[in-house]
Chain A
Amino acid sequence: MMNLTLKIWRQANTTSKGEMVTYPIENVSPDMSFLEMMDVLNEQLINKGIDPVAFDHDCREGICGMCSMYINGEAHGPDRLVTTCQLHMRKFKDGETITIEPFRANAFPVVKDLAVDRSAFDRIQHAGGFVSVNTSGNTQDANNIPIDKHDADKAFDAATCIGCGACVASCKNASAMLFVSAKVSQYALLPQGKIEATDRVLNMVKQMDDEGFGNCTNTGACEVECPKGISLENIARMNREYLFATAKG
């Protein structure tokens, strides 16, 4: 069992001013997930009449992309290839002080405490994150177009992005290039997505810029902190797609 000191960002709502508040917590089991530790803290706060800490979370198995804590200066904390919900307390030491902040970016305003508004990501997807095919029951047979296994696998790897925003939170420019390029790559690699590839990349990049995300300066921090290991290769692929699209006009 461990005793820890938590320094947590508290902010009542988007417009109010926030501050770091310190809470001690005792008897933390190393088998707890980070969010289970937060549950224990909140239960204690509620019983003391203190407003519990708001944080986003849902599936708690690393796939929904809802949890979003910046722990000790890293998106999703010190472990690699995990979301905050899959980070376990065994990664911390007894007596440690843990700093917990929300994902910070101009395009991700704080909703409350550690919860942020990532609807900018949704709006980028509205701009082009799809293949324009209606549901009809008359689409051609799924095996009519064979797809090179390597391309299919690369498309899958890009498609595993969970849209958590760790890439943005980790980037000194708050760039969303890794996120956007993952979707652009998935479709660019598949024959079904190639047809509208030009419009897609132009529209998605425009929306990304309009949302106020920063530029990519190739520091690679996004790839390091990405819980799904989305590769920087995708950014290179999107840049090629974008160049091709602008040249094509």
Chain B
Amino acid sequence: MASLDSKIPKGPLSDKWTNHKSHINLVSPANKRLIDIIVVGTGLAGASASATLAELGYNVKAFCFQDSPRRAHSIAAQGGINAAKNYQGDGDSTYRLFYDTVKGGDYRSRESNVHRLAEVSTNIIDQCVAQGVPFARDYGGLLDNRSFGGVLVSRTFYAKGQTGQQLLLGAYSAMNRQIGRGKIKMYNRHEMMDLVLVDGKARGIIARNLVTGQVERHGAHAVVVASGGYGNVFFLSTNAMGSNVSAGWKIHQKGAHFANPCFTQIHPTCIPVSGDHQSKLTLMSESLRNDGRIWVPKNLDDVQAIREGKLRPTQLKEEDRDYYLERRYPAFGNLVPRDVASRAAKERCDAGYGVNATGEAVYLDFTAAISRYGKEQAHVKGLNEDDAVLVKKLGQDVVRSKYGNLFQMYEKIVDQNPYETPMMIYPAVHYTMGGVWVDYNLMTSIPGCYAIGEANFSDHGANRLGASALMQGLADGYFVLPYTIGDYLADDIRTGSIATDSPEFDAAEKAVLDKISLFLNNKGEHSVDYYHKKLGKIMWDKCGMSRNAEGLKEAMADIKALREDFYKNVNVPGTDTEFNEQLAKAGRVADFLELGELFAKDALERTESCGGHFREESQTPEGEAMRDDENFTFVSAWEYKGEPADAVLHKEELNYEEIEVKTRSYK
């Protein structure tokens, strides 16, 4: 299948990237000035790509729907960013980071891409420090590290619980420098409405100014989609309210294959749902599992008493608590990977041990850490280690310095003090490993159209390890795409600027205008949110943490019916010449209503359990996920054929040369 040529370079794994860079085509500095590149999205991937491409000399047009590129949702990433620096001397290496990432992804990622990611990881830290990103440091002035789930080394760099914010502001500052120099034209409050193909190549986009409603044509020699993940298909997720799949879905409709849509990460440590009004879920960083112990009561009587408010969790004796992760996975304990931790929480809650009124919450307890740190501090300072009050205070100070902003956030939302009583947490949709299929050069199946960061599928397989999303976003944007895109653009140096008065632009713009007028003239009964919430419920109930054939078939039928109802009965108020958030949202939900069905179809097709995708039909007697390497060691890349149910499956077989494919065990 020509459209699925992954273009992995030949040669030994560790030399592929270096050799590839040495042999691909380049565009001379004088010619880069003649080439325009559109970047959609300004998160870590989009902002770093925009800045770097502009530094190289290309003319960049960057688009974001927010009022400033600095607000992209990478800003909310908390815990950290991985890099194989081995500053801690604990045996880390490029190979080990590569190995952990492939294993963590349950052997469903592309080996060569992951190795490249591990190789450039160290450059990212150097680059960010040079930009003035204020990472955490120790008293010697050197960079500090912490440990994350699924690994046995400390390779995570962090800036308190705001690592994503600091990295994004770093990339944003690099963008600002280029905006100031005129090399990036920034289009805030603009939404990409469609991709324009000319002679089969990506040659521009139709965008809409969200303030004036004006529909605009933008031509370019290449289009880069860096629009993030599609977790909001579940309505409730840790994504921002505006996060959407539309840019990725529009290019899918124009010929880019969509890969592994069912690979979704349900993050174990989020603040539980509080009521029907809930609009989004808030993550508590995985870094908390370094020091927090997860438990539920051993006895159902205690569960009942806690739910009724008759018993406080702090009153429960040690022997009456079930630290179920430490019990089931002694080697990794509370630091098992996210998919494993989430399913274990669901297992306990399904068995009736959930600790809040809805029965969907477990405890994350810092008592042990506070006491351990407190004693350590008392000892260091020569104070009385047996003074419980003093130890608690000293311990709380240490915990505050590590996680202060997270604890504060928890207290604001839940109205409980997590220094005094355990946090309550429950899994929530957080990240989507699936995304637009790309080759080794990060080009989609449309020539000249690229997908980077969370928007593509390539690096995390079926499950992403903590602190790897920031790494991938910046790797793609700073260090991979700026090289690989030149190989394609080298053939475009004589093309000249792309005219937007062509029939292709006319047709694309007309389709966009027609869709807008369809929404505004529909005058239906229900709001856009009504449909989004219904879609989210189908997804969570039938395509959530555990899935089965029957439920997935129902989900496909339910979503299709909901989509038909949406087009008949949706009510979009206002006009198309004003700031109209409902109109923008209608377009996004329309795309989610298609993606959701493809998601269920993909999950149905993949009858194995792997990573974040758990099929009830494929589990061991102990209830652990059972992979089927013989039949499913491939990437599912779906070709658009109109109705999602009619999408055609293309398989990219995954070959592992440098790594032995094993059952993933964290016991």
Q: Footprint of B on A, CB under 8 Å? A: 12-13, 29, 31-33, 35-37, 39-40, 43, 46-47, 49-52, 54, 56-66, 79, 81-82, 86, 88, 90, 111-112, 115, 117-119, 121-122, 125-127, 129-137, 139-143, 146-149, 152-153, 155-156, 159-160, 162-163, 186-187, 190, 192-193
Partner of A64, one of B71, B130, B138, B283: B71
In the complex the two chains form, is B573's CB within 8 Å of A51's CB? Answer: yes
| B89 is an interface residue with CB less than 8 A from chain A | no
The reply to whether A58 and B126 form a contact with Cβ atoms under 8 Å apart is no
What is the CA–CA distance of A50 and B574 in the complex, to the nearest angstrom? 9
Taking Cβ atoms with an 8 Å cutoff, the residues of B that contact A are 48, 51-52, 55, 66-73, 75-76, 85, 87, 120, 123, 125-132, 134-143, 159-160, 162, 165-166, 169, 172-174, 176-177, 179-180, 186, 188, 211, 238, 240-242, 274-275, 277-280, 282-283, 408-409, 412-413, 415, 478-479, 482, 527, 529, 571, 573-574, 578-579, 581-582
Contacts of A126 in B (CB 8 A): 176-177, 179-180
A142 proximity list for chain B (CB < 8 A): 85, 125-126, 128-129, 135, 143
* B412 and A13 contact, CB distance less than 8 A: no
Q: Which residues of A contact B479 (CB under 8 A)?
A: 135, 137
Q: What CA separation (Å) do A143 and B653 show in the bound complex?
A: 40
Which chain A positions have C-beta within 8 A of B120?
137
Q: Are B131 and A192 in contact (CB under 8 A)?
A: yes
Complex Cα distance A141/B125, Å?
A: 8
Q: Would B279 and A39 count as touching, CB distance under 8 A?
A: yes
Instruction: Tell me the bound Cα distance from A50 to B573 in angstroms.
Output: 8
Chain A hits for B240, CB < 8 A: 58-60, 64
Query: Nearest 9 pairs between A and B by C-beta?
Result: A146-B141, A130-B173, A156-B134, A126-B180, A142-B129, A112-B579, A130-B177, A64-B71, A155-B134
Q: Which residues on A sit within 8 Å (CB–CB) of B571?
A: 46
CA distance A46 to B524 in the complex (A): 11
Partner of B242, one of A12, A58, A81, A119: A58
Contact A54 B277 (CB under 8 A): no
A51 to B180, CA, bound (A): 38
What are 6 A-B pairs with beta-carbon distances under 8 A? Answer: A35-B279, A59-B75, A59-B241, A118-B67, A143-B87, A187-B132
Q: Known contacts A126-B177, A156-B134; can you find 16 more A-B pairs with CB under 8 A?
A: A46-B571, A46-B582, A58-B66, A59-B76, A60-B240, A63-B162, A121-B68, A122-B70, A130-B173, A130-B177, A131-B130, A137-B123, A139-B126, A139-B130, A152-B135, A156-B136
Q: Which residues of A contact B241 (CB under 8 A)?
A: 57-60
**A115, B584: Cα distance in complex, Å:** 15
Q: How far is the CA of A146 from the CA of B120 in the complex (A)?
A: 22
Closest Cβ–Cβ distance, residue B277 to chain A (whole Å)? 5
Which residue of B has the minimal Cβ distance to A158?
A: B134
B209 to chain A, nearest CB (A): 11
- Could you say which of A40, A65, A149 contacts B277, with CB atoms under 8 Å apart? A40
Q: How far is the CB of B410 from chain A (nearest CB, A)?
A: 11
> Is A152's CB under 8 angstroms from B51's CB?
no
CB contacts (< 8 Å) of B409 on chain A: these are: 61-62, 86
Q: Which residues of B contact A146 (CB under 8 A)?
A: 137, 140-142
Contact A13 B134 (CB under 8 A): no
How far does the alpha carbon of A51 sit from the alpha carbon of B142 in the complex, in Å? 54
Q: Are A111 and B581 in contact (CB under 8 A)?
A: no
Partner of B130, one of A56, A90, A133: A133
Question: Are B412's CB and A88's CB within 8 A?
Answer: yes
CA distance A185 to B241 in the complex (A): 32
A119, B188: Cβ atoms closer than 8 Å? yes
Chain B residues, Cβ within 8 Å of A35: 279
B238 proximity list for chain A (CB < 8 A): 61
**Complex interface: chain B residues within 8 A of A143 (CB):** 85, 87, 142-143
A157 to B36, CA, bound (A): 38
**With A and B bound together, what is the CA distance between A61 and B132 in angstroms?**
25
Given A135-B51, A155-B134: A118 in contact with B68 (beta carbons within 8 A)? yes
Report which of A37, A54, A122 forms a contact with B68, defined as CB distance below 8 A. Answer: A122
Nearest chain A residue, comparing its CB with the CB of B401: A153
**Option from A29, A56, A57, A64 in Cβ contact (under 8 Å) with B76:** A64
Q: Which residues of A contact B137 (CB under 8 A)?
A: 146-147, 149, 152-153
CA distance A137 to B121 in the complex (A): 10
Minimum CB distance partner of A143 in chain B: B142
| Residue of A33, A37, A79, A130 with most chain B CB atoms under a 10 A cut-off | A130
Q: Tell me which residues across on chain A come within 8 A of B135, comparing CB atoms.
A: 142, 152
Chain B residues with Cβ under 8 A from A130's Cβ?
131, 173-174, 176-177
Inter-chain contact A111/B130, CB cutoff 8 Å? no
B55 close to A135 (CB less than 8 A): yes
Chain A residues in 8 Å Cβ range of B179: 122, 126
- Given A32-B275, A61-B282, also A159-B169 (CB < 8 A): yes
- A58 to B578, alpha carbons, bound, how many Å? 19
Which single member of A37, A59, A125, A149 contacts B176 (CB below 8 Å)?
Answer: A125
Whether B76 and A61, one on each chain, are in contact in the complex, defined by CB atoms closer than 8 angstroms, is yes
CB pair A32–B130 under 8 Å, yes or no, is: no
* Bound Cα distance A47, B409 (Å): 33
**CB-nearest residue of chain B to A134:** B55
Complex: chain A residue closest to B575, CB-CB: A51
Known: A46-B573, A126-B176, A135-B52. A117 touches B67 (CB 8 A): yes
B173 (CB) vs chain A CBs: closest residue: A130
Given A122-B176, A137-B479, A86 and B413 contact (CB-CB distance below 8 Å) = yes
> What chain B residues lie within 8 Å of A62 (beta carbons)?
409, 412
Contact assessment for B413 and A88 in the assembled complex, using a CB-CB cutoff below 8 Å: yes
CB distance from B280 to the nearest CB of A (A): 5
Residue in chain B with minimal CB distance to A68:
B67
The answer to whether A148 and B176 have CB atoms under 8 Å apart is no
Contact A140 B275 (CB under 8 A): no
**A112 contact set on B, CB distance < 8 A:** 211, 578-579
